Amino acid sequence: MLKLPVYLDNNATTPVDPEVLDAMMPYFTRHFGNAASRNHAFGWTAEEAVQQAREQVAALLGAGADEIIFTSGATEAVNLAIKGTYEIHGGGDQHIITCVTEHKAVLDTCKHLEKSGASVTYLPVNKDGLINTNDLEAAIQRNTVLIAVMYANNETGVIQPVAEIADIARQHGIVFFSDATQAVGKIPIRVNEHPLGMLCLSAHKIYGPKGAGALYVRRKNPRVRLTAQIDGGGHEKGMRSGTLNVAGIAALGKACTLCASKMTNEGSRIKKLRDKLENALLAIQDVTINGDRVHRLPNVSNLSFANIKGNSLLTAISKTIAVSSGSACTSANPEPSHVLSAMGVEADLAKNSIRFGLGRFTTEEEITYAIQKVSEIVTEMKG
């Protein structure tokens, strides 16, 4: 039996995989030790769990275990990467290059640094959501200390030309940091292929719990240096003080291992369902895809529905299908999404844009339901 509402908002967060839950449970009760306790078995057991997770996270990225710093999530990792780079270079008028379609964690961190005197270039994107690497090269200055461009976009799934960006950054001796929160676990990522300096990820986007994440920081060829943003007991090699969230970290490790083993089959299964949903909805008049169709995650479809009467397609759909829209709907007067605006989608159309985010637990039956229900609602609202 189909259970309503259907969950198609896996880019916002994912349910915890039961196998991940099993892996984390012992660390709440029986193995509750503090990973920093060096003198007894409780501490050692916790430390072993953390070390195993470090290896599991590293394995998914082709990194070394000693290159993983655990954080409370991607937002914290982004703050550490960007502010930490800016500060280690002495602050002041250092230059950072990022992109207009980044997650708010990146954009707001950059805005914060601008107030401290940093200069920031926000690269534009084309109508498909991709940056132009010529723009990137042209933006590089003598004082550029960081290039921060996301791996895949959370609203559209668009995958940036990360390999090319990494090569350009390397040629100029600039650190490249990529927010890979949406890409990790869904597409293969190797930090040494086109070498990245830093990369962040979050457990709750890959079937782990909320409140755990990691920052990969390159240790050699060349070593990436950072100024810590949280001071205290010197955990995580002084890069992130605070008692480690052992259960969350164990869960993150397990989540990474599951992603590694499932990625190929899961990716093609989800892509088939996504394409089925997308093609069925595209058959309705005035429906368009937002984002490059080729360079895109397999699980996301961001669609604009033109010529809709009435004010909220999202409200109508959300009664039975959990999705997100192309607007920040936290306020009474929704602002169109900065991502869609940057791609040239007009405010009116952005308001009637829906992000469908499929995941590990999405079923064929749910997609069949979504096709039928959304088609029905859209047809009605086009009146």
Q: For the CB of residue 182, give the shortest distance to ligand PLP in the complex, in Å.
A: 5
| Binder among 56, 202, 290, 301 for ligand PLP (CB under 6 A) | 202
Stretch touching ligand PLP by CB under 6 A, among 174-182, 188-196, 327-335, 343-351: 174-182
DSSP letter, residue 337:
P
Stretch touching ligand PLP by CB under 6 A, among 69-77, 121-129, 216-224, 293-301: 69-77
Residue 222: asked if its preceding bond is cis (omega within 30°), the reply is yes
Q: Is 121 a binder of ligand PLP (CB under 6 A)? A: no
| Binder among 23, 105, 165, 196 for ligand PLP (CB under 6 A) | 105
Q: Is 73 a binder of ligand PLP (CB under 6 A)? A: yes
Q: Locate 258 and state its tokens.
A: 């599951």
Q: Is 129 a binder of ligand PLP (CB under 6 A)? A: no
**Alpha carbon of 317 to those of 47, 236, 255: distances in Å?**
46, 44, 31
| Binder among 63, 113, 150, 339 for ligand PLP (CB under 6 A) | 150
Q: Is 75 a binder of ligand PLP (CB under 6 A)? A: yes
Q: For the CB of residue 359, give the shortest distance to ligand PLP in the complex, in Å.
A: 13
CB 344 within 8 A of CB 31: no
| Binder among 129, 213, 291, 357 for ligand PLP (CB under 6 A) | 213
Q: Is 299 a binder of ligand PLP (CB under 6 A)? A: no
Stretch touching ligand PLP by CB under 6 A, among 43-51, 111-119, 139-147, 176-184: 176-184
Q: What are phi and psi of 201, to 5 degrees?
A: -150, 165
The residue sitting closest to ligand PLP, measured at its beta carbon, is 73
| Binder among 14, 121, 154, 156 for ligand PLP (CB under 6 A) | 154
Q: For the CB of residue 237, give the shortest distance to ligand PLP in the complex, in Å.
A: 21
How far is it, in rounded angstroms, from Cα 346 to Cα 192?
39
How far is it, in rounded angstroms, from Cα 245 to Cα 256?
16
For residue 202, what are the β-bridge partners? 213
Catalytic (active-site) positions: 329
Contacts from 362-366 at CB under 8 Å and sequence distance 24+?
362/7, 362/8, 362/10, 362/270, 362/273, 364/273, 365/2, 366/2, 366/6, 366/7, 366/8
- 205 or 351, CB closer to ligand PLP? 205
Q: For the CB of residue 109, give the shortest distance to ligand PLP in the complex, in Å.
A: 11
Stretch touching ligand PLP by CB under 6 A, among 16-24, 47-55, 179-187, 291-299: 179-187
C-alpha closest to that of 195 among 215, 161, 169: 169
Helix, strand and coil in the chain, % to nearest 5: 40, 15, 45
Q: Is 179 a binder of ligand PLP (CB under 6 A)? A: yes
DSSP code per residue over 114-158: HHTT-EEEEE---TTSPPPHHHHHHH--TTEEEEE--SB-TTT-B
How far is it, in rounded angstroms, from Cα 367 to Cα 373?
10
Summarize as ranges the residues that interact with ligand PLP (CB under 6 A): 73-75, 103, 105, 150, 154, 179, 181-182, 202, 205, 213
